[in-house]
Structure 1
């Protein structure tokens, strides 16, 4: 396609100027009070919060690549208040706790905003909210019902009819929308990573990059993390590896790696911006089962991603899967349908990344090695904000005392596990096909999807 001809096969965010020089890899033997495995959002938030709680705590981060090279530097930059992967998902799975989870999620987003300001993190944090748009009549009916439930719980949500939403953002595909005015911010994902990394270093966290942990073993008074050229022995360990975790066998039954793909346009001209509107600069997601998400950057590019979530049979994670031309062409075609007034806009970057998906779509938590190790995983693509909440949970679990967070059913219960391969691949591919069929048939879910709904798996993309 002409619009994709010159697109660079790299994540736009990570190609920006200003990336920090990599920290030296671990060599030799080190000790620490707390060792964090992974320097994405989950690991960086854990280390930062640990030092803010106790400045004297000796904290080490071990990162297999460089900070943010995986999901934290490849996402769309939607920093949501929801810690349950959206209101509807949370209400379905945690109805008795929903008011508490809404409160904790809003507090979490407030605290992220305060942290960004306190540490001077230049990541284009904009709390402009999010539009959930309907592009089909059945989606509009669902949005109206969802809005009523959200408004009844006191959320700042506004229902927009077709004329009103097109007044916000000019697309002929829109039939209506719900504007969550305070529950989502957009950020520059890589600059948020780099800012959190810098804040950790200022507080005395030691970071070793290009240092993959190969195994974890028991040691006198703690756990040892073994790497190619060294070892760290720590009293406590926080595992924050997302889809890339292979260090704890029990996690493998709960996580599948799903690839998500993204395009980034060139900067829009003033006349192109006038043609689109978008003066309030909200993040946008449509209401299909296979949904798109999109937003503006600081220099008025449009990030356009989602829709075609891909599971490669066998759960393989390979560098060559970061590019998928068939999906990029689908995304480019859908972009043109959504914004026909931007037919001359070219894409400058195209990329993909792995999401750690679990069957309930929101993070799950636990401990291992007699409570000396804690983990959080399964954010399913909404982890930019929720990882900070997950970091607090991991630290509370390592503390070994009951807290408001560790008492939550959401924290105490695990999602339904996935079946082993090759059944896992068959189940996931059947589900993906069924989801696509539902979108083509006014949202009607076939027998397979209804069965998943009945057992609490309610899949969408």
Structure 2
């Protein structure tokens, strides 16, 4: 099933890239035509225009996770405490500021290249939908302020309800440094810009196998590419392609529903711009309006994959469509009579730390990888492109020296413990948050089990 955003982006776009044919050569071959692969190709080409770059995509660029997300272009500021714990104060501060700068870098690139990705820099609201969630952002805000980063400010309750369009949001903090985009139009726009820059892109060209070399050789059904440098940008599909990464990520769905167009209703509720709204659950509800007057709502942490395999359910309508529709109506009772246009889900590559990681494949100096965005990849994938392009160009800079380039920062338990444990913890979180929604005290065991997700960095905002 083609993702909803990609179907919209492909309307009137008949310029599909040809499949790879015959034996070809390149300076750099990138496997994966989503946000990470395209940003890596674009940034490497910008810094070295003479570089000959080939991008191979198994389906259409954006048909994977890049075209299935909610289009919330967020930063890492809400994860500052975890960044500081992992990497120290200086690097945490640098990464947060770089993630905030990425919002404007993406906006500037879209403007420069005439890409209409419905980029709306209207900020983001982190809210509380129960008494237990109130104040969860306070420690992060204090730490950011102490570090000289002024990302957020609290809003009065009535202003939170007005900006978010829903009285269900009891409290909240606002950051102007965030945007929303049409992810399908963004990824297809990046693809067109890359091709205009002279980057060769081949869609419908799945990698069958590769020889590390050097030079590396990637083989597809109808051709091959021999390249001095090789980059793997497969995100959740990395664990399926390389079993050595099976325990580096947990593959979990993010499920979404979207309404028919209802611009008058949205304006009446106060949703007049592109602000994104996320609550303070472990697996958050998030929503936003679209430029064409729809309401999109999503939630992470539903379907877990076994053994790093991408299950067929990830390419189907969301099995949680009814639950998400009830949640949407809970936030917006006036939308009960507005039909749901579509539902979908997609695989999110959750790392142990909650952050992506990068490195050299088995230590090879000419083969690189990066994945593990943990449900927040629209903005940070630009940073992934900064890291991988710096590695490809053999640069010595803050990105190549970052601890993010040292590979995965921990492993999940082996199967079947990982899958069984994921379900046990997920269900405990659901019970705990249901009790909090009803102003009841959660069971002790559910509180303790929920902390296991927090220990993996999942309590930070996605």
TM-score over 0.5 for the pair: yes
Task: Give 1:178's match in structure 2, choosing from 173, 180, 184.
Answer: 173
Distance 1:342 1:90 in 2: 39
- 1:165–1:176: 8 Å Cα contact kept in structure 2? yes
2:47 is the alignment partner of 1:46: no
Task: Give 2:392's match in structure 1, choosing from 398, 405, 408.
Answer: 398
Distance 2:263 2:56 in 1: 42
Residue 138 of structure 1 aligns to a residue whose secondary structure is: helix
Give the count of matched residue pairs: 447
Q: Which residue of 1 aligns with 2:150?
A: 155
Distance 1:20 1:135 in 2: 44
Moved >6 Å (runs of 4+): none
Q: Which residue of 1 aligns with 2:341?
A: 348
Alignment of 1:285-324 (within 5 A): 285-323=278-316
- 1:283–1:293: 8 Å Cα contact kept in structure 2? yes
CA gap of 1:401–1:13, structure 2 versus 1, over 3 A, is closer
Task: Give 1:426's match in structure 2, choosing from 402, 420, 439.
Answer: 420
Range that drifts further, 91-100 or 369-378: 91-100
Query: Per-residue CA shift, 1:90-109, capped at 9, x if unaligned?
Result: 34433422211122212222
Task: Give 2:184's match in structure 1, choosing from 164, 182, 190.
Answer: 190
Q: How many angstroms does 1:302 deviate by? A: 0.7
Range that drifts further, 159-168 or 36-45: 159-168
Distance 2:114 2:452 in 1: 49
Distance 1:307 1:381 in 2: 8
Distance 2:374 2:366 in 1: 26
CA gap of 1:101–1:244, structure 2 versus 1, over 3 A, is same
Distance 1:57 1:10 in 2: 33
RMSD of aligned residue pairs (Cα, Å): 2.2
Range that drifts further, 422-431 or 439-448: 439-448
Q: How many angstroms does 1:156 deviate by? A: 3.2
Residue 149 of structure 1 aligns to a residue whose secondary structure is: helix
CA gap of 1:93–1:29, structure 2 versus 1, over 3 A, is same
Q: Which residue of 1 aligns with 2:439?
A: none
CA gap of 1:381–1:307, structure 2 versus 1, over 3 A, is closer
- 1:336–1:342: 8 Å Cα contact kept in structure 2? yes
2:94 is the alignment partner of 1:100: yes
Distance 2:63 2:452 in 1: 37
2:447 is the alignment partner of 1:446: yes
Q: Which runs of 5+ in 1 are unaligned?
A: 1-8
Residue 378 of structure 2 aligns to a residue whose secondary structure is: helix
Range that drifts further, 307-316 or 39-48: 307-316
CA gap of 1:215–1:104, structure 2 versus 1, over 3 A, is same
Query: Per-residue CA shift, 1:40-88, capped at 9, x if unaligned?
Result: 0011111111111111110001110011001111111111232x77344
Q: Which runs of 5+ in 2 are unaligned?
A: 437-441
Q: Which residue of 1 aligns with 2:269?
A: 276
- 1:37–1:43: 8 Å Cα contact kept in structure 2? yes
Residue 309 of structure 1 aligns to a residue whose secondary structure is: strand
Q: How many angstroms does 1:115 deviate by? A: 1.0
Distance 1:303 1:260 in 2: 13
2:320 is the alignment partner of 1:327: yes
CA gap of 1:318–1:413, structure 2 versus 1, over 3 A, is closer
Q: Which residue of 2 aligns with 1:90?
A: 83
- 1:416–1:457: 8 Å Cα contact kept in structure 2? no
Q: Which residue of 1 aligns with 2:406?
A: 412
Alignment of 1:62-77 (within 5 A): 62-77=56-71
- 2:258–2:297: 8 Å Cα contact kept in structure 1? yes
Q: How many angstroms does 1:448 deviate by? A: 3.5
Task: Give 2:162's match in structure 1, choosing from 161, 167, 171.
Answer: 167
Residue 415 of structure 1 aligns to a residue whose secondary structure is: coil
Range that drifts further, 304-313 or 374-383: 304-313
